[in-house]
C-alpha cells in the first residue's frame, strides 16, 4: 500500500502564524521596519520557519498591527488562508516589578474556554512559542501586550467541534508542534488504509471514527481502542477497502454534522468538497411531516447543530419527539446508503450501523443495527 513517490507538503500550525504577526508588529514598533518575512523558531521541532508578512502598520505611538495568512500545507484544514492578526502594544521605561513581560490576550475570533472563566483558548505551546520568539527582542525595562485576532474565527468555529471541548465563539491556538501534518492528503490516506488492513487481520467487526472527538468518546463509552479506525474524511475508500479485506460489520461513530452527509450519498465528508447538510436534514423533516415554517427555519440554519436545536426547542414546546423521529430516520438512511455504496464498489457486502452525537458529545441516536453492533463491541469478550 505504501507509495514512496507521493510528495506531500507540510505547513505550519496556527500558533506559528500568530507568533510571526506578533514579531512583525513588535519589530515595526521598535525599528520602523516593515518586515516581508519573519523567522519563527518552532522549538518543537528544533527548526526555523520563514513566514511571509502580508501587512504591517502602526496604529499609534505604541501599537502596531501585522497580518499573516495561515498555510497548513497539504491539509484541507479550515484555517487554510485565514488571516491571523497580532496587535502589539509596547510599554517602555517600566520601573515597577511587573510579573509578566509578555501578556498574551485573545481578541475577536479566539475562542473562550467556558470551564475556565472564559479564558482565551490559547494553549501551552502557543504561549511558549510566543514568549520564546518575542522575549529576545525586548529590553529588560520593556513590556508588551499581544492581542491575537482571527477575523474569520467565529464563523470558522461553526465548522468544528470546539464546543464539545468547552471552547465557544472562536478557534483555539492549539497544537504541540509547529508543523501541520497533512491529515487529509493522499499520503495520509495510505497510512489510514495500512492501519485498517492491519486491524482487519485481527477483527472482522470495526468502528470507524472520522475525528478525534469520535475516537475519544468511543473509548470513553467502552469500545476497545484496537477496534477503532480513524478515517478522517476519507469514508469512501476506507469503506471499500474494509469490504475487500472481508470486514463483516462497521459501526460508524461520529458527529452528526459529518455523518449526516452519508444520508445524502456524500462519502467524502470534507466541507471543501461537498456539503448538503441542511438539505439532507430538511428533506428528512419534510418526509416525516414537519410544517413549512419549521422546514424553512431548518433549511436556513447555518449549521446542522443549529437545525438540531430547532428540533429540540420544538420538542420542548410541543411535548413531541421530533429529534428522535427525524434522527432515527437519518440513521436508517445512513446505514442503507452506506451499504449500497459498498455494494456498488466491491463484491463483498458489509453490515453497517451508526451512532451520532452532538457538539456536547451527547448521543443523539443509534440506528437499529448500530445499537446491536455497539452492544457487541462493548460487552462481547470475543474477537468481535
Cell 495510505 -> residue: 190
The fold of the 11-180 domain, in CATH, is: CbiD-like (3.30.2110)
- Enumerate the H helices of 264-367 as residue ranges: 277-287, 292-299, 304-318, 322-345
- With vertex at residue 136, the alpha carbon angle to CA 132 and CA 141, rounded to the nearest 5 degrees, is 115
pLDDT (mean) for 119-125: 92
C-alpha–C-alpha distance, residues 159 and 165, integer Å: 14
pLDDT at 76: 64
- Which position has the grid cell 467524502? 268
**2 pLDDT more than 50:** no
Whole-number pLDDT of residue 194: 85
In the chain, what are the domain boundaries? 11-180, 186-379
Q: Are strands 249-255 and 228-230 parallel, antiparallel or unpaired?
A: unpaired
Residues in CB range of 382: below 8 A, 6 or more apart: none
> Using an 8 Å Cβ cutoff, are 36 and 53 in contact?
yes
Q: From CA 334, how far away is CA 380, in angstroms rounded? A: 25
Whole-angstrom distance, CA of residue 251 vs CA of residue 233: 16
Closest CA to 252 of 231, 282, 278: 231
Q: What is the pLDDT of residue 353?
A: 97
CA 35 to chain centre: 32
Nearest Cα residue to 125 out of 44, 183, 71, 47: 44
Q: Give whole-number Cα distances, 143 to 92, 94, 122, 344, in Å.
A: 7, 7, 20, 64
**Using an 8 Å Cβ cutoff, are 74 and 185 in contact?**
yes
Residue with cell 470495526: 206
Q: What average pLDDT does this structure show over 48-63?
A: 96
* pTM for the predicted model, two decimal places: 0.62
Contact partners, residue 249, CB within 8 Å, separation at least 6: 204, 205, 206, 350, 351, 352, 353, 373
Query: What gap in Å lies between CA 274 and CA 30, rounded to an integer?
Result: 47
Where do the DSSP E strands lie in 13-169? 37-41, 48-52, 55-60, 63-69, 83-91, 102-106, 112-113, 119-120, 143-149, 167-168
For residue 45, whether the previous peptide bond is cis, meaning omega lies within 30 degrees of 0, is yes
Q: Which grid cell sits at 45?
A: 521541532
Average pLDDT, the chain: 89
**Closest of 141, 136, 133 to residue 90, by C-alpha:** 141
Q: How many residues does the chain have?
A: 384
Q: What is the pLDDT of residues 184-219, one digit of tens each?
A: 556 567 778 888 999 999 999 999 998 778 888 999
State mean pLDDT over 120-129.
Answer: 93
pLDDT at 3 over 50: no
Residue with more model confidence, 133 or 162: 133
pLDDT in tens, 217-239: 999 999 988 999 989 888 999 99
DSSP state letters, 144-185: EEEEEE-TTHHHHHTTS-GGGGTEESSB-B--SSSEE--TTS
CA distance 148 to 66: 10
In the numeric block, which cell numbers belong to residue 99?
A: 510579573
d(CA 129, CA 318) in angstroms, rounded, equals 52
- Whose grid coordinates read 510599554? 91
Question: Beta partners for 73?
Answer: 10
Q: What is the pLDDT of residues 73-98, one digit of tens each?
A: 876 678 989 999 999 999 986 665 55
Separation of alpha carbons 63 and 216, rounded Å: 42
Look at residue 272 in the predicted model and tell me its pLDDT.
61
Least confident range from 44-48, 230-234, 248-252, 287-291: namely 230-234
Half-sphere exposure of 227 (CA within 13 A, CB side): 27
Amino acid at each position: 500500500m505504501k507509495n514512496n513517490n507521493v510528495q506531500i507538503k507540510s505547513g505550519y500550525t496556527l500558533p506559528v502564524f500568530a507568533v510571526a504577526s506578533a514579531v512583525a508588529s513588535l519589530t515595526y514598533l521598535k525599528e520602523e521596519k516593515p518586515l516581508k518575512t519573519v523567522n519563527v523558531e518552532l522549538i518543537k521541532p528544533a527548526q526555523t520557519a520563514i513566514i511571509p508578512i502580508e501587512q504591517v502598520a502602526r496604529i499609534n505611538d505604541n501599537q502596531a498591527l501585522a497580518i499573516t495568512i495561515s498555510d497548513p500545507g497539504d491539509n484541507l484544514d479550515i484555517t487554510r488562508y485565514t488571516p491571523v492578526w497580532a496587535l502589539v502594544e509596547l510599554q517602555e521605561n517600566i520601573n515597577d516589578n511587573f510579573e509578566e513581560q509578555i501578556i498574551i490576550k485573545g481578541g475577536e475570533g479566539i475562542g473562550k474556554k467556558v470551564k475556565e472563566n472564559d479564558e482565551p483558548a490559547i494553549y501551552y505551546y502557543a504561549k511558549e512559542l510566543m514568549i520564546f520568539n518575542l522575549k529576545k527582542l525586548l529590553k529588560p525595562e520593556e513590556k508588551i501586550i499581544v492581542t491575537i485576532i482571527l477575523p474569520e474565527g467565529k464563523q470558522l468555529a461553526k465548522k468544528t467541534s470546539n464546543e464539545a471541548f468547552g471552547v465557544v465563539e472562536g478557534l483555539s491556538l492549539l497544537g504541540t508542534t509547529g508543523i501541520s501534518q497533512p491529515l487529509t492528503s493522499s499520503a495520509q490516506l495510505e497510512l489510514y488504509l495500512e492501519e485498517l488492513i492491519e486491524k482487519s487481520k485481527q477483527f472482522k467487526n470495526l468502528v470507524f471514527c472520522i475525528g478525534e472527538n469520535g475516537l475519544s468518546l468511543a473509548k470513553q463509552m467502552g469500545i476497545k481502542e484496537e477496534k477503532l479506525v480513524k478515517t478522517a474524511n476519507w469514508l469512501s475508500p476506507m469503506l471499500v477497502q474494509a469490504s475487500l479485506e472481508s470486514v463483516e460489520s462497521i459501526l460508524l461513530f461520529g458527529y452528526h454534522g459529518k455523518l449526516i452527509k452519508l444520508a445524502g450519498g456524500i462519502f467524502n465528508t470534507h466541507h471543501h468538497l461537498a456539503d448538503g447538510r441542511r438539505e439532507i436534514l430538511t428533506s428528512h423533516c419534510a418526509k416525516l411531516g414537519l410544517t413549512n415554517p419549521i422546514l424553512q427555519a431548518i433549511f436556513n440554519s447555518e449549521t446542522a447543530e443549529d437545525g438540531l436545536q430547532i428540533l429540540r426547542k420544538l420538542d420542548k414546546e410541543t411535548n413531541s419527539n421530533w429529534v428522535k423521529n427525524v434522527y432515527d430516520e437519518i440513521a436508517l438512511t445512513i446505514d442503507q446508503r452506506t451499504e449500497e455504496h459498498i455494494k456498488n464498489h466491491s463484491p463483498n457486502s458489509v453490515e453497517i450501523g451508526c451512532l451520532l452525537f452532538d457538539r456536547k458529545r451527547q448521543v443523539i441516536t443509534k440506528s437499529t443495527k448500530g445499537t446491536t453492533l455497539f452492544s457487541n463491541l462493548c460487552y462481547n469478550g470475543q474477537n468481535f
